[in-house]
Structure 1
Amino acid sequence: MARYFDVHPTDPQPRTIGQVVDLLRGDALIAYPTDSSYALGCRMEYHDGADRIRTIRGLGDRHHFTLVCSDFAQLGQLVKLDNNAFRAIKAVTPGPYTFILPATAEVPRRLAHPKKKTVGVRIPDSRVAQAILRGLGEPLLSSTLILPGATEPMTDGWTIKEELDHVLDAVVDGGDAGTVPTTVVDWSEGYPEVVRTGAGDPTRFE
C-alpha cells in the first residue's frame, strides 16, 4: 500500500518532504508532481526501479528514462555538453523541457539507451520536485506518469493513490501538475531536434 503525502504546492512542508526523501533513500518508487505533469521517480542507483517503472507504464527496454536534476551543475555531471548545447539548455532551465544527450560514466549503463548510450535530463520548475531533489541530494530516475493506453498523464494525486496503490510506495500530492508532458529535444547528434512538442516552447530549438 502506497503512503500518501499531501504537500503544499508552493510552500512544501519540510517535515513531509523529509519523510518522502527517507523513503526514496530506502529504494521507494514514488509518484510526484513536476512543472508539466505527475511523474514516477526513484533513486538512480535503485536497481529494480527502472523495471518497476517499465512495468507500470508498459514500456520496452529502449525507452529513454529521464534523470531529473536539481540544478545545472548536477545535470552537467550526467551528460556530455558542447558549448552550443550548454548555452541553449541553460537558458531554458529550470523549465518543462527534457534533453536527450550522450551519457557520461556517472550514469549506470542499464539506464542509458542500449544502442545510443544516451539519456534524458531535465531540471523542473516545481517547488515540490525541487524540495525533494534538494533533500535527496542526487537525481531522480523518472518517467512521466502515463498509463498504458492513455494519451495524457495522470493529474490527481488521490486518483493516482487509488489506481496504483499496489505498485507504488508513496504518492506525493502537490495539487494539479498539469496534463502536458515536457517538450523533448534530442541533442545527441550535436544539434537540436524536437522529438516531442509539449509544455515547453519548441520554437527556439526548431
Structure 2
Amino acid sequence: MPKFATQVLGTNSEAVGQAATMLRGGGLVAFPTETVYGLGADATQDHAVARIFEAKGRPSFNPLIVHVAEVSALKHLVQWSDAAQAVADAFWPGPLTLVLPLRAGAAISKLVTAGLPTLAVRIPAHPVARAFLASFGGPVAAPSANRSGQMSPTRAAHVTADLSGRIEAVVDGGRCGVGLESTILGLAGVPTLLRPGAVTEDALARVLGRAVAQRQDTETLSAPGQMLSHYAPAAGVRLNALDWREDEARLGFGAVDCDLNLSETGDLTEAAANLFEYLHQLDARGAPVIAVSPVPHRGLGVAINDRLSRAAAPR
C-alpha cells in the first residue's frame, strides 16, 4: 500500500481543524475517544472507508462504527426509536454504541455496514473527539486505530507503532480514560448485548425496563469486536493463572506478585483502563506468553474477560 508521512497533531483548534480537512480530502486520521483511539474516515466516501480496511488489514465483512457529534445527526442515518432515545439520554455522550436499522437512502458508504441492514452509531464523550467531529461536520467511520486483530491503542504512540506510514495523522489527546472499546447494544429487534463494555448489561436493563438478550459467538457477525480471535498481542495469552511459569510475563490483578498489576486493590475500573496499556508494555518485553490472573466476572469484569478471552483464542 502507499506510504504516508504520518503526522502527530496536537489538540488545539488549529490542529483539530487540520485533521478535519484531511478527512474531507479522503484521508485517515486517528483520534482519541474515552474508550480507545479510533481510526477515522469520512463515512460517506467509499474510497476513504476502503482505506480503513486496507490500513488495518481488516476483513471487509466486519462492520464499522459511525461517530457523530450530536443525536440530531443520526436521525437521517438510522431508524430512531423510543428505546434508542432512552439509552441515548442515559449514556450519551459516552462509551456506548447502538446498532439500529439503516434508514433508506442514508448517505453512508455500503462498506461501513458490510452489507448489513443495520448501522452501528456512537457519540463519544472525549472532548477532543467531540471537537474533531464537530469541526468535520459529518459522520465519521472509526474502528480502533490498530492492525486488525491486535491490541487496541490507548495512546497515540500505540497508533504510530502500528499504523505509521499507513495513515495521514493521529491527534494526540493523551491516554484514553476507559481503556476498553464501547459496549454495543443491538436495537434492531429484541435489545441484545452485542459486545460488553463500560456500560454494563445491568445498567442497560434498568434503563430499558427489561432484560437484555445475549449474542452467542456462533451467530453471524453483526457488530465490531465479535471475531473469536481479537485484541491479541504477539505473545500467547494464558488466562486465570494462579501461579507463574518460567519465561512468562506476569499480568496480575489484586494482591499478587507480578510484573504489572491491573489493579492491586481489585478495582475493575482501574483494571479496564490499564488492560491494553499493560498488554502493550508486557508484549514489548518479548516473552512468549503473557499469563493473566483471574479477573472477577461481574460488572466491568465481564468486558475485561471478553477482551482477554479473544486475545487468548487460537489464531
The two structures have a TM-score, normalised by structure 1, of 0.88
Pairing partner for 1:4 from 5, 8, 17: 8
What is the CA distance between 1:5 and its match in structure 2? 0.5
**1:42 aligns to what?**
41
Q: Does 1:157 align with 2:156?
A: yes
Following the alignment from structure 2 to structure 1, what is the Cα–Cα distance between the partners of residues 157 and 146? 15
1:48 aligned counterpart, secondary structure: helix
Secondary structure of the 1:81 match is: coil
- 3-state SS of paired residue (1:76): coil
User: What is the match of residue 131 of structure 2?
Assistant: 131
Q: 1:136 to 1:148 in 2, by over 3 A?
A: closer
Larger CA Rg, structure 1 vs 2: 2
CA distance in 1, matches of 2:87, 2:158: 37
Residue in 1 that maps onto 2:83? 84
> Which sections of structure 2, spanning at least 5 residues, go unmatched?
206-211, 213-315
1 CA distance for matches of 2:114 and 2:23?
24
Is the Cα contact below 8 Å between 1:33 and 1:129 reproduced in 2? yes
- Matched with 1:101 is 100
Post-superposition offset of 1:162: 3.8
Contact 2:43 2:109 in 1 (8 A): no
Deviation at 1:159, TM superposition (A): 3.5
**Secondary structure, counterpart of 2:154 in structure 1:** coil
In the alignment, structure 1 residue 174 sits paired with structure 2 residue 178 = no
- Higher percent of residues as strand: 1
The residue that corresponds to 2:67 in the other structure is: 68
Q: Which residue of 2 aligns with 1:10?
A: none
RMSD after superposition: 1.7
Deviation at 1:108, TM superposition (A): 2.9
SS of the residue 2:46 aligns to: coil
Give the secondary-structure state (helix, strand or coil) at the position aligned to 2:141.
strand
Q: Distance in 2 between matches of 1:159 and 1:146?
A: 8
Q: How many aligned positions are there? A: 198
Q: 1:99 to 1:162 in 2, by over 3 A?
A: same
Change (3 A) 1:159 1:60: closer
Q: Is the 8 A contact 2:118 2:188 kept in 1?
A: yes
Distance 2:58 2:163 in 1: 16
Listed one character per residue, the Cα deviations across residues 154-194 of structure 1 (whole Å, up to 9, x for unaligned) are: 122134224312110111110001430000111112x3100
List gaps (5 residues or longer) in structure 1.
8-12
Output the CA distance in 2 between the equivalents of 1:59 and 1:119: 18
TM-score if structure 2 supplies the norm length? 0.59
Instruction: Please list, as runs of the form range in 1=range in 2, the aligned pairs for 1:14-33 lying within 5 A after superposition.
Output: 14-33=13-32
> In 1, Cα distance between the equivalents of 2:108 and 2:84?
22
Alpha-carbon distance in 1 for matches of 2:183, 2:19: 27
Deviation of 1:109 (Å):
5.2
